[in-house]
Amino acid sequence: MSAPCMHPSCLLLLLLVVCRHAHTNLVSVTENTTVTTEPPVETLSPITPPVAPLTPLQTGQKSVVLTGENHTEKVEVVNPVTLNLECVWTGDNKRLPNITGYWTKDGKTIESSYSNTQLQNDRYYLRKEFSIMSEEDLGTYSCIFGPKAKVDFILAAPYLGEMRDKPIVSYVGDSVVMICKMDEKKSKPINWNWYKHNGTSKEKIEVDSPGHRYKITKDEKKTKLVVHNLTESDSGVYFCGAVYGIGTSMGHMQLRVITYFEPLKPFLGILVEVLVLVAVILLYEKTGSKKENQSGPEGNPDQTSNLSHGENAVADGHSGTARQRKV
Amino acid sequence: MPPPATTNLGYTPPDGGWGWVVVLAAFISIGFSYAFPKSLTVYFKEIQEYFGVSYSEIAWVSSVMLATMYAAGPISSILVNRYGSRPVVIVGGFLVGVGMVSASFGTSIVHLYLCVGVIGGFGLAFNLQPALTIIGTYFQAKRPLANGLAMTGSPVVLFTLAPLNQFLFDSFGWRGSFLILGAIVLNCCVAGSLMRPVNKMVVFKPKTEPLEVNGAEEASGAEALRSEDSPKSQSCVHRFIDFSLFKHRGFLIYLVGNIILFFGFFAPVVFLAPYAKHQGIDEYSAAFLLSIFALSDMFIRPATGFIGNTRWIRPKIQYFFAFAVSYNGVCHLLCPLLPGYAGLVVYAVFFGFAFGMLSALLFETLMDLVGAKRFSTAVGLCTIIECGPVLLGPPMSGALVDIFGDYKYMYYTCGVFMLVPGLFFFIMHYFNYRKLEEEKHKEAVGMRTAEDTVHLNIGQKDKSEDEMEK
């Protein structure tokens, strides 16, 4: 914003632009503190529109040049925004006064982005303004200096919180609760949606579907899908989508529905093992004691001699005897 | 000449043979009793989501189980006194099994409280007390070693159950896991069937070791006999529970010290992982700390039993226990001063040693004080009274952490709660040992004069007989 505009229409335009930027300051750029990829290469600083309460990030890396080296930056986009991306490269040892740079989106070169960059303050700069309006505009934007250096900006809606990677197990006739959460620190979605994968595509789950088996609750940062009266066909992959201005962020989880027979098998196995062991131990004891009774008469002399031994030993200690007998 | 095994048992314990099988059985029972409530926490997150309740409501399941296990102590004691250890353990194992199986069909959180908490708790109580008691009947000379080995069951079973529970949960969800756990816990019945009542008829050759081992027990045994001889005008309850224990000096010392120390005993274990995470350590390394703790605990328990059995320590084993308690306290006081992950690893190792030492000696010292005959009743009374501190300890420590926002005050408090009883034990047992020596001396003197009187009478009788003959 340079010289003050006096004309009303100009003012209006200015106001509009300012308002638009003010609304779009929801773009958050993840703080890039330590980029220690193996021989780190370039110094880079992505910059966002000035109104955002964010300062340009300088990663401040050492500039050692290696071919083929690149860097990845994650950018969270919540609402439509005009994003100014800037790449700063400290260059290689050739120090060409001019090199060509260009931008790609998701690997495809943006034709109009070819430009010659000049060495300023010993750095090469590549800047481009991108209009991120809808879900198609999200993706990976890369700036490439000549054939050598590359920076990837991954633009995406906020990722969902930790999802369980192992399947959730439930039983036929039972119900199951599936939960999707958004991190506390991230912005809250406008809405939540649930989908079920039916072999080819995602099918949205409506609450009022026949049978009233589904129940969806939506809190600000959390959503719950409850499925009642499960059947084996309910097994599969379920998706939860957090809807933002820019698009939907998806998370997925797998449901496995099994019958009660599955845990019953190990249960019965262990039960049998316990019963067998108890029977064996008690039988062994019974037969052991029977043997003792049978060898009774022969064993008696031993016992009596033992007794006499014991008695002698006991009788040696005077004080203990009387007490012991009583007990 | 020192009197032989004055165990007041009326027989000489085998100190070996089938006794070692009984130790294995006790190992299983004690292991399940202590490790089972702790290992159930793996399922809590899913159950909490399933029933739509808060985490503290779900944590109550473990607390109810632990509380019932401690509170049902006296009932367990009565049953053991009446029927012996074996039937009680078998019934206990069966109860826990039934509790878990019915919980797997549960439809509300209250259902879980009742099935897992109350029924399961009773079952575990019927496992713990008898297992401890039967060791006292089978062992005398090697009792500390046997106790140490049996108490090792707790960390070993916990170490096994934790990954097993995770595996069951991933394969069968919480309902199926509860069903299978109900079957696994029935192995306590197998342990119970191994607990053959000791054969009191066969008198074994007594060992020739100088049995100076029952320092604290002898005179207390004398007291017990005197109280038993007192008129049988006692009520039904008195016949089963020996309230005269509250007049027993050693028992009172033990009880008072234990009540205080249990406030600070379990909390540091519960908060070890959260403390590590609070310091910025990642989840896996924090969980690894618990494994280090469990491993050092596992190895120190039999070692403590062995050391406690040596002839230098055995007579004064109460001091060893006091040392273990104080050592715990010192560990906790030093913990906040140790920096970083390495410091926490060192703390986990030393705390594991401290925790194991205390656990191995916990019941051995009680047996040493009251004798094997009254142990069953004593341990029942102890557990029901200790119920309070055991349950209140962790939440109180949690409150301390919440108020100050820092874990170090909690560690200092726990350290104090363990150091004070430790010193208390040292002082009180010094006086107790002295008093016991005095009483022993008096007894010996009393006996000698009684014998002299008898000899004198006999001599007089002979004389009078001689005179009459003449």
The closest alpha carbon to B378, from B285, B245, B206, belongs to: B245
Q: Measuring CA to CA, how many Å separate B51 from each of A60, B196, B449? A: 51, 44, 74
Per the rule left: phi > 0, alpha: psi between -120 and 50, beta: everything else, A193 is: beta
* Chain A residues touching B447 at Cβ < 8 A: 318-319
Q: Residue A318: which of B196, B203, B447 has the nearest Cβ?
A: B447
B452 contacts on A by Cβ (under 8 Å):
none
Q: Do A267 and B182 touch (CB under 8 A)?
A: yes
Q: And the tokens for A88?
A: 């700063």
Q: Is the pLDDT assigned to residue B2 strictly greater than 60?
A: no
Candidate from A177, A320, A326 with C-beta closest to B6: A320
Cβ separation B204–A264 shorter than 8 A: no
What is the pTM (predicted TM-score) of this model?
A: 0.74
Instruction: Please check whether residue A177 touches B, CB under 8 A.
Output: yes
- Rounded Cα gap, residues B425 and B22, in angstroms: 31
Picking from B208-217, B252-261, B428-437, which range would have the lowest pLDDT averaged per residue? B208-217
Distances from the Cα of B303 to the Cα of A12, B147, B325, angstroms: 85, 11, 16
Mutation target to probe the B interface, by most B beta carbons within 10 A, among A164, A260, A323, A326 is A323
Phi-psi region of A173 (alpha: psi -120 to 50; beta: other; left: phi over 0): left
Whether residue A326 and residue B225 make contact (CB cut-off 8 A), yes or no, is: yes
Indicate yes or no: CB of A274 within 8 angstroms of CB of B190.
yes
Chain B residues lying within 8 Å of A168, measured CB to CB: 46, 173
Beta bridge mates, A151: A71, A143
User: B428 with B420: CB under 8 angstroms?
Assistant: no
Two structure tokens written together for B426: 């040292």
Report the SS3 class of residue A50.
coil
Would you state the pLDDT for residue B228? 41
What would you measure as the largest C-alpha separation in chain A, in angstroms? 128
In chain A, the residue whose alpha carbon lies closest to the alpha carbon of B444 is A319
Q: Is B337 left (phi over 0), alpha (psi -120 to 50) or beta?
A: alpha
**Minimal Cβ distance to B225: which of A271, A274, A327:** A327
A316: chain B residues, CB-CB within 8 Å: 1, 4
A313 in reach of chain B (CB within 8 A): yes
Give pLDDT, residue B338.
84
Tell me: pLDDT of B4 over 50: no
Predicted pLDDT of residue A275: 95
CATH, domain range B241-462: 1.20.1250.20
Q: Is B177 in CB contact (< 8 Å) with chain A?
A: yes
Name which of A108-117, B1-10, B53-62, B342-351 the model is least confident about: B1-10
Average pLDDT over residues A13-28: 42
Considering only A128-137, A214-223, B399-408, B443-452, which range has the smallest mean pLDDT? A128-137
Q: Which helix (H) or strand (E) holds B359?
A: helix B340-404
List pLDDT tens digits, range B177-231. Answer: 999 999 999 999 999 999 998 877 765 555 444 444 445 554 444 444 444 444 4
Interface check for B352 against chain A (CB to CB < 8 A): the answer is no
Residue B84 near residue B131, CB atoms below 8 Å: no
Contact assignment for A263 to B172 by CB distance below 8 Å: yes
* CATH 1.20.1250.20 domain extents, chain B: 14-196, 241-462
Closest CA to A230 of A288, A297, A175: A175
How does the average pLDDT of chain B come out, rounded? 85
Residue B386 has pLDDT above 80, yes or no: yes
Contact A249, A77 (CB under 8 A): no
Closest CA to B371 of B359, B383, B379: B379
Strands A168-171 and A248-258: parallel
What is the per-residue pLDDT for B236?
53
- Partners of B3 on chain A (C-beta within 8 Å) are 317-320
Where is pLDDT greater, at A184 or B126? B126
Distances (CA, A) of B253 to A173, B242, B362: 57, 17, 13
Collapsed DSSP state (helix, strand, coil) of residue B299: helix
A97, A116 Cβ separation under 8 angstroms: no
Length of chain B: 470
Confidence of residue A57 (pLDDT cuts 50, 70, 90): very low
Instruction: Say which of B4, B50, B177 has its CB closest to residue A320.
Output: B4
The reply to whether B342 touches chain A by the CB within 8 Å rule is no
| Strand A149-156 relative to strand A139-145, pairing | antiparallel
At B69 the pLDDT is 93
User: Does A262 sit within 8 Å of B1, measured CB to CB?
Assistant: no
- Give the model's pLDDT for residue B240: 57
CA distance B422 to B358: 11
User: Which of B408 and B23 is assigned the larger pLDDT?
Assistant: B23
Q: Which two tokens stand for residue B39?
A: 């290992």
Cβ distance of B50 and A177 shorter than 8 Å: yes
Contact partners, residue A85, CB within 8 Å, separation at least 6: A46, A47, A127, A128, A129, A130, A141, A143, A153
Token pair for B432: 């107790």
Helix A296-316 and helix A261-294, axial crossing angle in degrees, nearest 10? 80
End-to-end CA separation in angstroms for chain A: 104
- Least confident residue range of A61-65, B266-270, B297-301: A61-65
Give percent above pLDDT 90 in chain A: 11
Q: Are the CB atoms for B93 and B177 separated by under 8 Å?
A: no
Partners of A129 in the β-ladder: A84
Pick the range with the lowest mean pLDDT from A47-56, B191-200, B212-221, B332-341.
A47-56
Burial of B334 per CB tally in 10 Å (0-12, 13-18, 19+): middle
pLDDT of residue B153: 94
B225 to A168: CB separation less than 8 angstroms, yes or no? no
Q: Regarding beta strands A248-258 and A176-181, do their DSSP bridges make them parallel or antiparallel, or are they unpaired?
A: unpaired
Percent of chain A exceeding pLDDT 70 equals 65
**What average pLDDT score do residues B242-265 get?**
88
DSSP B2: -
Decide: helix, strand or coil at residue B191. Answer: helix
Which strands make up the sheet holding A236-243, listed edge to edge?
A: A168-171, A248-258, A236-243, A191-197, A202-204
Q: What radius of gyration do chain B's Cα atoms show?
A: 25
Q: Which residues of chain B does A323 touch, with a Cβ-Cβ cutoff of 8 Å?
A: 6, 8, 221-222, 225
pLDDT at A267: 95
Do the chains contact at B186 and A271, CB–CB below 8 Å? yes
What pLDDT was estimated at residue B113? 93
Interface of B with A in 39-78 (CB under 8 A): 46, 49-50, 52
At residue A30, does pLDDT exceed 50? no
Residues of A in contact with B206 (CB under 8 A): 310, 313-314
B447 pLDDT higher than 50: yes
A127-156 mean pLDDT: 80
Burial (0-12, 13-18, 19+ Cβ within 10 Å), A12: exposed
Give the pLDDT confidence of B110-139 residue by residue, as tens digits. Answer: 999 999 999 999 999 999 999 999 998 999
Phi first, then psi: what are they for A211, rounded to 5°?
100, -15
Q: Point out the residue among B9, B194, B373 whose CB comes nearest to the CB of A281.
A: B194
User: Minimum mean pLDDT among A208-217, B289-298, B385-394, B408-417: which range?
Assistant: A208-217
Tens-digit pLDDT profile for residues B86-110: 999 999 999 999 999 999 998 899 9
Residue A310 is nearest to which of B206, B221, B222, comparing CB atoms?
B206
Q: What is the mean pLDDT of residues B430-456?
A: 87
Residue of chain B minimizing CA distance to A258 = B172
Most confident listed range (A98-102, A104-108, B341-345): B341-345
Enter the CATH code of domain B14-196.
1.20.1250.20
| CB atoms A274 and B183 under 8 Å | yes
Q: Which chain B residue is nearest to residue A307, measuring alpha carbons?
A: B203
**Residues A19-30: what's their mean pLDDT?**
40
Which pLDDT does position B206 carry in this prediction? 52
Q: Following CA atoms B158, B160, B165, B170 in sequence, which dihedral angle do they give, to the nearest 10 degrees?
A: 150
Instruction: Output the pLDDT for position A6.
Output: 53
